[in-house]
Amino acid sequence: MDDTKNIFVIGLNDFNRQRLETLRGVEHYRFHGVIAPEAVYDTEEFDIAAMLEEATAQLEAFEGSIDAIVGYMDFPVSTMLPILCERFGTRSTSLESLLKCEHKYWSRRVQREVIPEFIPAFTAFDPFDDEALTQIGAAGLYFPFFVKPIKSSGSRLGFRIDTPEDFYQAIEQLRGSIGMIADPFNTVLEHARLPPEVAAVDGHFCMAEEIIGGWQCTIEGYVHNGQVVSYGIVDSLRYPQVLSFFHYRYPSGLPDPIQDKMVELTDTVMRHIGYDNAAFNVEYFWDEVQDRIWLLEINTRISQSHCDLFEKVDGVSNQQVTIDLGLGHRPDMPSRQGDFPMAAKFFYRVFFSDAVVTRIPSPEEVAELESAFPGTVIAIQVEVGQQLSTLPEQDSYSYALAYIWMGAEDSDTLLANYERLVAQLQFEFADIVS
């Protein structure tokens, strides 16, 4: 009897396939891609209806068993998964519970029901309403505050607002670009049963929130048959004076009582949402000065950026969690069985307004550096001739030229090795000729 399980991965690329082939039990799995990876990774245009139709046709044409349908990306993959899993009878959380995490206004409303003292003041607003700033003030939010779309992707279209001029500059960008995510997100909302107060706030709306900050971290966890499990906390450290991420570090250096409280809050809110049989990660701030914890946002997936960190420190990528849950099994993540006590993903960035790339490190140069720093993986994110402003999924302040995963004995060694490595990582640029 063939006990091989057919696991379908939306947007399966070579990078993830290689990682998946290292998981425990992989000899019993057969991985299949659903929807080409470039349709979800290398574009900012998402025709959700067409992708759902394409995925359904691919799955219906498959002659074997469909044992799991999984994905590792945020929008649009995360929002398609519950719809496809329901159609084909595989394990996933419900679409409504997922949207209580991903629809930022709905998410804040349900968080406020159970952990009100751990979330910022917030309100939704229509960026196409010329009176939006007045309405934000009427809701009790004053400068400075933060604005972002109801459904965002990464840090894109998120802005700190200190003055009316900041607001109107942000509004101009939001009006021009928000439809790229809002339109497909609204397609997903049509599949869900929404409360009237949430249905009135569609994907074209934005959020204004009180400024929160501090030591940022992410809890990686899952819910299996109603039990919430948090299995790791990753620190998110930023470049000085800007919002851009410098590196993710695992395990966290937060004080144990703070970590314990974040785990408790996560359990409370995920149970309240009704999220089940799926992975998640929850981002928090710890304001060390006020000794106050803030919940930033909930993501309905593992973080791909953290996979290598868990593999280096714990011994297996946390992709294992997604596969186990998709098959209906309780995940069994090892702890501290990897090759390194600490690991990080670094973002090598430039803070240009724009430029054209004229040189990148060659594959031979990359391989030599990876060999010189054992355990290191370097993923170049740009090509020669590319204009930086064409890079997808960038924040509003910088461009990430490379992702660099490294392991070490401690944080000081990690940082020292990174500085030695990037000193040898040669990029060159030219100004844009208008």
Domain with residue 194: its CATH number is: 3.30.1490.20
Residue 111: CB atoms within 10 Å: 23
Q: What is the mean pLDDT of residues 332-341?
A: 95
The CA distance from 308 to 317, in Å, is 6
Q: How confident is the model at residue 406 (pLDDT cuts 50, 70, 90)?
A: very high
Q: Based on the domain organization, do 158 and 281 belong to the same domain?
A: no
pLDDT at 159: 92
233-265 pLDDT, tens digit each: 999 999 988 878 999 999 999 999 999 999 999
Is residue 106 a part of any domain in this protein?
Answer: no
Asked if the peptide bond before residue 76 counts as cis, ω within 30 degrees of 0, the response is yes
Q: Based on the domain organization, do 234 and 139 belong to the same domain?
A: no
Q: Based on the domain organization, do 78 and 125 belong to the same domain?
A: no
Q: Based on the domain organization, do 52 and 137 belong to the same domain?
A: no
Q: Is 181 helix (H, G, I), strand (E, B) or coil?
A: helix
Those residues whose C-beta lies under 8 Å from the C-beta of residue 154, and which sit 6 or more positions away, are 74, 393, 394, 395
- In terms of pTM, does the model score above 0.85? yes
Q: Based on the domain organization, do 291 and 406 belong to the same domain?
A: yes
Report which of residues 434 and 144 the model is more confident about: 144
| pLDDT exceeds 80 at position 419 | yes
The CA distance from 151 to 164, in Å, is 23
pLDDT at 2: 65
The CA distance from 86 to 111, in Å, is 26
186-202 pLDDT, tens digit each: 999 999 999 999 999 99
* Burial status of residue 166 (CB atoms within 10 A of its CB: 0-12, 13-18, 19 or more): middle
283-292 pLDDT, tens digit each: 999 999 999 9
Q: Based on the domain organization, do 227 and 242 belong to the same domain?
A: yes
Q: Which of 76-80, 125-129, 151-155 has the lowest mean pLDDT?
A: 151-155
Residue 352: CB atoms within 10 Å: 13
Show which of 171, 186, 210 is a domain's final residue: 210
Percentage, residues of the chain above pLDDT 70 = 98
Beta-strand relationship, 215-224 and 206-210: unpaired
Is residue 337 a part of any domain in this protein?
Answer: yes
Q: Which two tokens mark 96?
A: 């409504």
Is residue 184 a part of any domain in this protein?
Answer: yes
For 402, phi then psi, to 5°, come to -155, 150
Is residue 109 a part of any domain in this protein?
Answer: no
pLDDT at 321: 97
Is residue 375 a part of any domain in this protein?
Answer: yes
Q: How many domains are contained in the chain?
A: 3
Q: Based on the domain organization, do 232 and 329 belong to the same domain?
A: yes
pLDDT at 224: 98
pLDDT at 247: 96
141-197 pLDDT, tens digit each: 999 999 999 997 666 788 999 999 999 999 999 999 999 889 999 999 999 999 999
Q: Which amino acid is at 355?
A: A
Q: Based on the domain organization, do 30 and 130 belong to the same domain?
A: no
Q: Based on the domain organization, do 374 and 259 belong to the same domain?
A: yes
Show which of 167, 192, 210 is a domain's final residue: 210
Q: Considering only the C-alpha atoms of the chain, give the largest distance between any 2 of them, rounded to a whole number of Å.
A: 68
Is residue 102 a part of any domain in this protein?
Answer: no
| pLDDT exceeds 70 at position 26 | yes
pLDDT at 243: 76
Report which of residues 74 and 276 the model is more confident about: 276
Q: Are 299 and 266 in contact (CB under 8 A)?
A: no
| pLDDT exceeds 60 at position 394 | yes
Q: Which two tokens mark 86?
A: 């329901």
Q: Based on the domain organization, do 300 and 152 belong to the same domain?
A: no
pLDDT at 359: 97
Domain with residue 374: its CATH number is: 3.30.470.20
Count of residues in the chain: 434
pLDDT at 409: 97
pLDDT at 396: 67
Q: Determine the structural domain holding residue 59 and report its residue range.
A: 5-93
| pLDDT exceeds 60 at position 83 | yes
- The chain-wide mean pLDDT, for the chain, equals 94
Is residue 114 a part of any domain in this protein?
Answer: no
pLDDT at 1: 52
The CA distance from 84 to 302, in Å, is 19
Q: Based on the domain organization, do 203 and 239 belong to the same domain?
A: no
Q: How confident is the model at residue 3 (pLDDT cuts 50, 70, 90)?
A: confident
88-109 pLDDT, tens digit each: 999 999 999 999 999 999 999 9
Is residue 341 a part of any domain in this protein?
Answer: yes
How many Cα atoms occupy the beta-carbon half-sphere of 245 within 13 Å? 24
Q: What is the mean pLDDT of residues 270-294?
A: 97
* Burial status of residue 272 (CB atoms within 10 A of its CB: 0-12, 13-18, 19 or more): middle
344-356 pLDDT, tens digit each: 999 999 998 899 9
Q: Based on the domain organization, do 127 and 226 belong to the same domain?
A: no
pLDDT at 434: 62
288-324 pLDDT, tens digit each: 999 999 999 999 999 988 999 999 999 999 999 999 9
Those residues whose C-beta lies under 8 Å from the C-beta of residue 289, and which sit 6 or more positions away, are 214
